[in-house]
Amino acid sequence: MTTSTTSTILQMKNIVKAFGANTVLRGVDFELQRGEVHALLGSNGAGKSTLMKILEGVYTPDGGEIEINGTPVRIRSPQEAKALGVGMVFQEFSLVPTLTVAQNVFLTREPRTGAGLLNDAECERRTQALFAEMGVQIDPKQVVARMSTGYWQLTEIAKALSQDARILILDEPTASLTKTETEGLFELIRRLKAKGISIIYISHRMEEIFEIADRITVMRDGMRVATERIANLTMEQVIEQIVGQKVEQVLAWKDRHVNRTTAPLLEVKDLVAADRVRNISFTLYPGEILGLAGLMGSGRTELVRALFGINKITNGEVRIRGRSVTIRKPDDAIAAGICLIPEDRRVQGLVLDHSVKDNLLLPLLKRFQKFGLIDDAGGDKLVQSYVSTLLRRQSAKGGHRQMASSRARDTPHGRADSRCRYRGESRDRQYHPPTCR
């Protein structure tokens, strides 16, 4: 952290953050230079998101200092962050699908006519100018729902730049992009960098980091463990910094003993279902973890959606503990003992306006209903036992402090997501029932 002040746009010094008794950031330093792509790396629970949410004004630090352009600042809200030139593009898009690109870019900041009416023409002109500056071609009049995910990402970036962002945080920006869309995004990042915009790039994809980043900072267990120019590192060295072990140890095969002399827990034979699932067969034994691997679009998600009764099964057989079961809807899967943690938990797994308690009890309402009324006391007791069990297990394992602390922060009556931003991904907006009983 020895860069001269004149080239530094952001410094976060000795940042500390705790949720209850759990400290999730332990004196973290982070520095960003002008016109730099700085990758922020770490495993789940390392503290990356918490650090960035402090910079974005979602959380307030318990200790430490933040300087932007050499001036100490206090960031107490996303609005204050925007005023200081900080913009963040979250992994979950915040666009409204039914509005046009221009309407999304200037949402809540729409240009007005002299009479105080919305000036759509001016909104579209400004949006077109933004895209021209970015070097991309998107029709500002296009309805967002009709565009591919790659264009959603570009629209989010334009939205941040429209608020004069000089520090742009990209959280897993390629998670839903094709290879071609990713290449287009990287070209845009290089153009923004050339204009002096500084970018904090969060990703788990090592090949992307080595292609686009100038420097990296690695976090582990709430601490910064390394900051280095990417040109001075190998991929193996970066992985070792992230996990705290030699790559050979991390990737070494470890024998796992599963008793396959017993009857299978789950048998799937020649399963055919809507959307890419064709003649799939496998067997799962009690206590076994079965991995499903494949490229995006290969059918992994569609397979588990079929087993949970979301996608229609048209042929094949599913057996649980040797008994053939018919799964036509999620209730059938739950009754058979199958639970699903969906791919997009914010959109498909939680009702974000409801409390943690309400979300946990949604699939259990019948158990707590008496004469049409809900037994709140019984529900409170069960939810508190679940939260306490989760915290004990996470504390015993040592890692993933961030997840444990976020649960500690959210009392059972707290909101499931305090930001509760609209994320309308056009590929799947249908309601999915709660996924466990």
The domain 257-340 is placed in CATH, from the list 3.30.2080.10, 3.40.50.300, 3.30.70.3270, 3.40.960.10, at 3.40.50.300
**Distance, CA of 410 to CA of 350 (rounded, Å):** 14
Asked if the model's pLDDT at residue 15 lies above 90, the reply is yes
Question: According to CATH, what is the number of the domain 5-249?
Answer: 3.40.50.300
Q: Which two tokens stand for residue 40?
A: 């922020």
Q: Give the confidence band of 330 by pLDDT, cuts at 50, 70, 90.
A: very high
Element (H, E) at 315: strand 313-320
Kind of pairing between the strands at 198-202 and 167-171:
parallel
The whole-number pLDDT of residue 307 equals 96
For 361-372, letters b (16+ CB in 10 Å) and e give bebbeeeeeeee
How much is the average pLDDT of 283-301?
Answer: 87
Query: What stretches of 7-84 adopt beta strand conformation (E)?
Result: 8-19, 22-33, 37-41, 63-68, 71-73
Asked if the model's pLDDT at residue 298 lies above 50, the reply is yes
**Distance, CA of 266 to CA of 325 (rounded, Å):** 10
List the single range of 76-80, 250-254, 312-316 with lowest mean pLDDT.
Answer: 250-254
**Distance, CA of 99 to CA of 95 (rounded, Å):** 8
On average, the pLDDT of the chain sits at 85
Q: Give the confidence band of 6 by pLDDT, cuts at 50, 70, 90.
A: low
For 359-379, write each residue's pLDDT tens digit: 888 888 888 888 878 888 888
Element (H, E) at 395: helix 376-397
Residue 226, beta-bridge partner list: 218
For 413-433, write each residue's pLDDT tens digit: 555 543 333 333 333 333 343
Going by C-beta distance under 8 Å and a sequence separation of 6 or more, which residues neighbour residue 197? 35, 161, 165, 166, 167, 168
Asked if the model's pLDDT at residue 313 lies above 50, the reply is yes
Going by C-beta distance under 8 Å and a sequence separation of 6 or more, which residues neighbour residue 333? 307, 308, 309, 327, 339, 340
- When computed from its CA atoms, the radius of gyration of the chain, rounded to whole angstroms, is 24
Going by C-beta distance under 8 Å and a sequence separation of 6 or more, which residues neighbour residue 129? none
List the single range of 13-17, 159-163, 386-390, 411-415 with lowest mean pLDDT.
Answer: 411-415
- Residue intervals of the chain classified under CATH 3.40.50.300 are 5-249, 257-340
List the single range of 186-190, 207-211, 406-410 with lowest mean pLDDT.
Answer: 406-410
The whole-number pLDDT of residue 225 equals 95
For 91-105, write each residue's pLDDT tens digit: 778 899 999 999 999
Asked if the model's pLDDT at residue 402 lies above 60, the reply is no
**What's the pTM?**
0.67
Percent of the chain's residues with pLDDT above 70: 87
The amino acid at residue 382 is L
Asked if the model's pLDDT at residue 18 lies above 80, the reply is yes
Going by C-beta distance under 8 Å and a sequence separation of 6 or more, which residues neighbour residue 233? 216
How much is the average pLDDT of 207-236?
Answer: 95
The whole-number pLDDT of residue 2 equals 41
